[in-house]
Amino acid sequence: MRLSPKAWNEAIGEAAQKIGEAGYELVLLELFGQVVAHDATIVARYSTTAPVDVVFFKGLSPPIVDLFRREYYQSDPFTAWWREAGRPGVVPQSLIVPSRRHDPYSSLFQRKAGISDEMALFLPSKGGSSTGLFLERRKGRFSRDEIAAAEIAFPAIAGLYIAQCNLAPRTEQAGAAPQIPARPLPSISHALSQREREIVDLVLLGYPNSVIARKLSISRGTVRNHRLSIYRKLDITSERELFLRYLDLLSTSRP
């Protein structure tokens, strides 16, 4: 592991203090990135039915990510792995792609992207879906020791994520007011209605439209309409841009 035991415990403590914040998956991504050296990072959402959804990336160019979304998402080996295995944990590319020469994702997309290896950490599942935290390397492969270090770190990261998820009520009583873990987001929310701010907070916490609709006792169509209104007011076009806007806010509001 890159960190000493003391530094690792301090990093866990800092991440634990942020439980309840919107965009907590990015906190866990930063924690994962402290374990193994890497050149780029990705947060992607995986489902047993829907295509993979890249919601955040750093160290990769937008055209490369757009190329993945347009042409190569169907050959993503991590999608196949999640749909077949469906369990959280550390998944190095070497585990699921035995022959990269004959794998279109490895030989075509990764070559264009300048990526030589990937390692995913699949967070505990919510309703058959999972968020994957990815570390990317431009030269060389992740070693066995690095993979082992990620596996050692996994229980702590998964436990923090479960603690974050447990802030939401396990069962919601009919007619009860939804519990929104909201925090003021002035640069994001000043132009939004109260309901739109609630939806922004839940999106940043990683909830899909179906769960947001259930929490707020509205239809999924209404959630979609609110999200379109949010994107229009914020002059953005995707959930990824919403995450980036939130990161910009954090960087300017923290002392």
Q: Quick check: is 199 in a domain?
A: yes
Could you tell me if 161 and 190 lie in one domain? no
| Residue labelled with tokens 């003391």 | 6
Residue-wise pLDDT tens digits, 78-113: 998 998 888 899 999 999 988 887 788 988 999 999
In a domain? residue 174: no
Amino acid at 251: S
* Per-residue pLDDT at 188: 59
Q: What is the pLDDT of residue 48?
A: 82
Tokens of 177: 């007011």
Q: Are residues 10 and 73 in the same domain?
A: yes
- Do 207 and 86 belong together in one domain? no
Q: What is the pTM of this model?
A: 0.69
- Of 165, 199, 224, the residue that ends a domain is 165
Instruction: Give the residue-averaged pLDDT of 48-54.
Output: 84
Residue 177 lies in a domain: no
Mean of the per-residue pLDDT values of the chain: 83
Q: What is the pLDDT of residue 185?
A: 45
User: Strand runs (DSSP E) across 21-147, as ranges?
Assistant: 40-46, 53-58, 89-92, 117-122, 130-137
173 with 193: CB under 8 angstroms?
A: no
**CATH number of the domain residue 114 falls in:** 3.30.450.40
Per-residue pLDDT for 181 more than 70?
Answer: no
pLDDT of residue 170: 41
Work out the widest C-alpha separation in the chain, in whole angstroms: 56
What's the pLDDT at 179? Answer: 43
Whether residues 42 and 93 fall in one domain = yes
Q: In sequence order, what DSSP letters do the residues of 73-108 get, joined into one string?
A: GGG-HHHHHHHHH---EEEEHHHH-S-STT-HIIII
How many domains does the chain fold into? 2
158 plus 235 within the same structural domain: no
Q: Does residue 140 share a domain with residue 228?
A: no
pLDDT-wise least confident of 23-32, 64-73, 162-171, 208-217: 162-171
Q: Please tell me whether residues 161 and 47 are part of one structural domain.
A: yes
Confidence of residue 53 (pLDDT cuts 50, 70, 90): confident
Across the range 117-131, mean pLDDT stands at 90
Whether 181 is in a domain gets the answer no
Token pair for 195: 């309901």
Residue-number span of the structural domain to which 195 is assigned:
186-253
How far is 184 from 150, CA to CA, in rounded Å? 34
- Nearest Cα to Cα of residue 78 among 94, 61, 57, 99: 94
Q: Are residues 142 and 24 in the same domain?
A: yes
With 50 as the cut, is the pLDDT of residue 221 above it? yes
* Residue 141 pLDDT > 70: yes
In this structure, the answer to whether residues 103 and 146 fall within a common structural domain is yes
Flag whether pLDDT at 175 surpasses 50: no
Rounded-to-integer distance, Cα 52 and Cα 54, Å: 7
CB 188, CB 248: distance < 8 Å: no
Q: Looking at the structure, do residues 24 and 93 belong to the same domain, yes or no?
A: yes
Residue 52 lies in a domain: yes
The reply to whether 78 and 27 lie within a common domain is yes
Could you tell me if residue 173 is inside a domain?
no
- The answer to whether position 96 is within a domain reads yes
Decide if pLDDT at 204 tops 50: yes
Q: Based on the domain organization, do 72 and 190 belong to the same domain?
A: no
